[in-house]
Amino acid sequence: MAVYTDVSDDDLAGFVARYDIGQPIAFKGIAEGVSNSNFFLQTTSDRYILTVYEARAPREDLPFFIGLMDHLAGHGFACPRPVRMKDGAALAEIAGKPAALVSYLDGISVKKPSAAHCAAAGRALAQLHRAGEGFAMVRPNPLSVSGWRPLAEASGARAERISPGLSRRIADEVAVHEASWPKGLPAGVIHADFFADNVFFIGPACSGVIDFYFAANDAYAYDLAIALNAWCFEPDASFNLTKGQALLGGYEAVRQLGADEVAALPQLARGAALRFLLTRTLDLLDVPAGALVKPHDPIPYDRRLSFHRRIDSATEYGLTR
Amino acid sequence: MAVYTDVSDDDLAGFVARYDIGQPIAFKGIAEGVSNSNFFLQTTSDRYILTVYEARAPREDLPFFIGLMDHLAGHGFACPRPVRMKDGAALAEIAGKPAALVSYLDGISVKKPSAAHCAAAGRALAQLHRAGEGFAMVRPNPLSVSGWRPLAEASGARAERISPGLSRRIADEVAVHEASWPKGLPAGVIHADFFADNVFFIGPACSGVIDFYFAANDAYAYDLAIALNAWCFEPDASFNLTKGQALLGGYEAVRQLGADEVAALPQLARGAALRFLLTRTLDLLDVPAGALVKPHDPIPYDRRLSFHRRIDSATEYGLTR
């Protein structure tokens, strides 16, 4: 949860005046998103979410993120659609910071997804991959294998404060993946942060996906591997095979995995666990005194790594062939 | 801003099932309220606010607060109306804590009220006093004159850390008011926290009032004195006479002040400033390390006190007679 920006009366009035959206009748900071501030804005014409991009958001990538949402929504994918100002631009400014107004998406994220939720999430992820085809902009994924060594070095020996042996386990994993990371897999736009808090449901049905601020170009199966880590482990870090079957089955109901992707899945899942272990370790070590946001615990991803190291084949995750 | 309670999927489903309100389609923590957690809940039938009462809320007073909102809304005052469960009760429970579901109120609070906002706020406060007549429950105001000495003693000499001489100024003020606090003024239910963040507007018109968690039985003119402190001073603690005229004029357009209230207003305003100086001083001294909520600065109320000490008559606040 986070609302970092104080929006004054004048800021809001000036912002709304740049759009054809009527007059504001509700404006509330909401506890959604970690790096950006989000506000619920209701006007006489519709409901919206206003996102204010804070320092952590890479300003030069905002056109990619906003363009992607526009592309996905225009290709039938349920996600927030950027609203254009009277001058046609979608990237705005408020309180001196970059900002975007997007359409409001009904739905509620689930905290403990069931197998049915996992199946729906798998379908939604494949639909996202399909809908992203043809999006012209490109953003290399800074959090794929080439980005891991700098992250590992930034935490270094300090990782020992979190768990004995962690710095060594991280260094070994980075070396393994640098030597053998799968290349040439089917690729396109991936969400790259497909966690349960970014997927909305109404009842059992997925109503849409939010938070495209890690989206990048990378292997589709790596996105699926991230989702496998995010959706199919229990709070004690044990793997729930039923949920794995549901997620993978849901995905393949929309987009069939190729033989190369199936073969790569165990390493992709291991790499995905490492990617979140790395950023969470660093976030925990670098948390500023008096920070408003409690960092995620990295340890569950250390435990997922141990699990993935023992996996030989995608069928062990529940893939049927 | 504050969302202290984590509401699980099961908590929410169980909660909603106790009401006749359809199925949830949106549920978001919102940055509103300081001592309680608030959530925006949209269902297939309507929009609501769910308030979860945290430890600071006096549990035994919740029936008063909820009953008051029910009474006010039932008497034509624009405020959140508690929604009753299927069993008829309005005070519910969620995640092991007391909670209430109330109707959603359109509108936006203003951060820098204009004189027109002050006039509308004055009218709304008087309407609140009128609508509260006949409410049968009673809650003595713990933050009136008899509650000030314990607060002053709780900060004691530590107040010097905030401003040199503050502990002495506080002690002197407490003694003055204990000796001469006005008695027998027209009284009834007062809001007691009628600050700009608790009053909603749509355009220039007041659309309603929220946050009745300081409401109590006390002198109406004391409520007006609190509002005078809250609405009519500039950020540099200078008094804006135009806003004073607007607030008092707006109030009297609905409820005329008696001669006793007019005569008492300077001392009530001075006491109201002391009341907020006391709680803000204590909140600042007792702020826990790593607290999520930044305490209000007490100094502007120290400066308001100096101002009120030099006032002889309510006309100096802008009251026309």
Q: What is the CATH number of the domain that holds B60?
A: 3.30.200.20
* Claim to verify: residue B150 and residue B277 sit in the same structural domain: yes
Residues A123 and A98 in one domain: no
Q: From CA B21, how far away is CA B286, in angstroms rounded?
A: 41
**Are B53 and B163 contained in the same domain?**
no
Give A191's contacts (C-beta < 8 A, 6+ positions apart). A125, A128, A198, A209, A212, A214, A215, A223, A226
- A110 chain-B contacts, CB cut-off 8 A: 9
Both B227 and B100 in a single domain? no
Count how many pairs of residues, chain A against chain B, have C-beta atoms within 8 Å: 72
**A171 touching chain B per CB within 8 A:** no
Looking at the DSSP bridge assignments, the partners of residue B47 are B42
Q: Quick: pLDDT tens for A11-24.
A: 999 999 999 999 99
Mean per-residue pLDDT over chain A, rounded: 94
- Answer yes or no: is B4 within a domain: no
Contact A200, A208 (CB under 8 A): yes
Instruction: Report whether pLDDT(A312) > 80.
Output: yes
d(CA B41, CA B80): 14
- Per-residue confidence (pLDDT) for residue B166, from 0 to 100: 97
ipTM higher than the 0.90 cut:
no
- CATH number of the domain residue A187 falls in: 3.90.1200.10
Contact A108 B25 (CB under 8 A): yes
Put simply, whether A17 touches B (Cβ < 8 Å) is no
B9 inside 8 A of chain A by CB: yes
pLDDT at residue A294 in the model? 73
**Are residues A136 and A23 both part of a single domain?**
no
| β-sheet with A108-109: strand ranges across | A108-109, A199-202, A205-209
The whole-number mean pLDDT for each consecutive block of 10 residues of chain B, a chain of 321 residues, reads 78 96 94 83 96 86 97 98 97 94 96 96 98 97 96 96 96 97 98 97 95 97 98 95 97 98 98 97 82 80 96 95 84
The number of helices, as runs of H, and strands, as runs of E, in chain B is 9, 10
State residue B242's pLDDT score: 97
- Any bridge partners for residue B51, and if so which? B38, B100
- Please check whether residues B207 and B282 belong to one and the same domain: yes
CB distance A221 to A94 below 8 Å: no
Provide the pLDDT for residue B1.
41
**Last residue within a domain, chosen from A75, A104, A133:** A104
CA B71 to chain CA centroid, nearest Å: 17
Number of domains making up chain B: 2
**Which residues, at least 6 apart from A249, have a Cβ–Cβ distance to it below 8 Å?**
A119, A122, A318, A320
- Is the pLDDT confidence value at A4 over 80? no
A110 in contact with B at a CB cutoff of 8 Å?
yes
Q: Does any CB of chain B come closer than 8 Å to the CB of residue A310? A: no
Range of weakest confidence among A247-251, A284-288, B231-235:
A284-288
Note the pLDDT tens digit of each residue in B74-122: 999 999 999 999 999 999 999 999 999 999 999 999 999 999 999 999 9
Evaluate if residue A248 carries a pLDDT over 60. Answer: yes
**Closest C-alpha among A77, A75, A103 to residue A90:** A103
User: What is the band of A1 on the pLDDT scale with cuts at 50, 70, 90?
Assistant: very low
Same domain, yes or no, for A68 and A118?
no
Tokens of A157: 């020996």
Residues A161 and A46 in one domain: no
Q: Do A243 and A212 share a domain, yes or no?
A: yes
Residue A66 has pLDDT above 80, yes or no: yes
Give chain A positions within 8 Å (CB) of B3.
Answer: 1, 31
> Which pLDDT band, with edges at 50, 70 and 90, does A2 fall under?
low
Closest CA to B96 of B21, B5, B33: B5
Residue A2 is assigned to a structural domain of this protein: no
Distances (CA, A) of B307 to A128, A149, B303: 62, 62, 6
Q: Is residue B150 part of a domain?
A: yes
Does B107 reach chain A within 8 Å, measured CB to CB?
Answer: yes
Taking CA atoms, what residue in B is nearest to A25? B107
pLDDT of residue A289: 64
Q: Between β-strands B108-109 and B199-202, what pairing exists: parallel, antiparallel or unpaired?
A: antiparallel
Structural domain includes residue B1: no
Residue of B28, B40, B52, B106 to mutate, interface with A, max A Cβ within 10 Å: B28
Nearest to A50 by CA among B138, B31, B171: B31
Chain A residue closest in CA terms to B206: A25
Q: At what angle do helices B166-180 and B259-285 cross, to 10 degrees?
A: 150
User: Which two tokens mark A155?
Assistant: 């935490």
pLDDT at A225: 98
Could you give the 3-state DSSP secondary structure of residue A37? strand
Task: Compute the distance between CA of residue A247 and CA of residue A231 in angstroms, rounded to an integer.
Answer: 8
Q: Where are the beta strands (DSSP E) in chain B?
A: 24-30, 37-43, 47-52, 92-94, 97-103, 108-109, 187-190, 199-202, 205-209, 216-219
A123 occurs within a structural domain: yes
Domain assignment of residue A70, yes or no: yes
d(CA A264, CA A225): 10
Q: Domain boundary at A71, A89, A104, which? A: A104
Burial grade of A88 (CB within 10 A; 0-12, 13-18, 19 or more): exposed
The verdict on a CB contact (< 8 Å) between A110 and B12 is no
Distance (Å, rounded) from C-alpha A121 to C-alpha A207?
10
| A78: chain B residues, CB-CB within 8 Å | none
Kindly state whether residue A1 falls inside one of the protein's structural domains: no
Residue A27 phi, psi (nearest 5): -155, 110
pLDDT digits (tens, 9 = 90+) for A23-52: 999 999 998 776 789 999 999 999 999 999
C-alpha distances in angstroms, A229 versus A226, A258, B122?
Answer: 5, 20, 56
Element spanning A30, H or E: strand A24-30
- CB-based contact, B263 to chain A, within 8 Å: no
**pLDDT number for residue A290:** 59
- Residue-wise pLDDT for A81-132, tens only, equals 999 999 999 999 999 999 999 999 999 999 999 999 999 999 999 999 999 9
Shared-domain flag, residues B265 and B165: yes
DSSP annotation of A296 reads P
Residue with tokens 């002495």: B168
A3 domain-assigned: no
State whether residue A294 sits within 8 Å of chain B by CB. no
- Cα(A318)–Cα(B84) distance, integer angstroms: 46
What is the rounded (10 degree) CA torsion for B301, B303, B308, B311?
-160
Q: Based on the domain organization, do A84 and A212 belong to the same domain?
A: no
Structural domain harbouring B189: 109-317
Binary contact (B40, A30; C-beta < 8 A) = yes
Q: Are A146 and A233 contained in the same domain?
A: yes
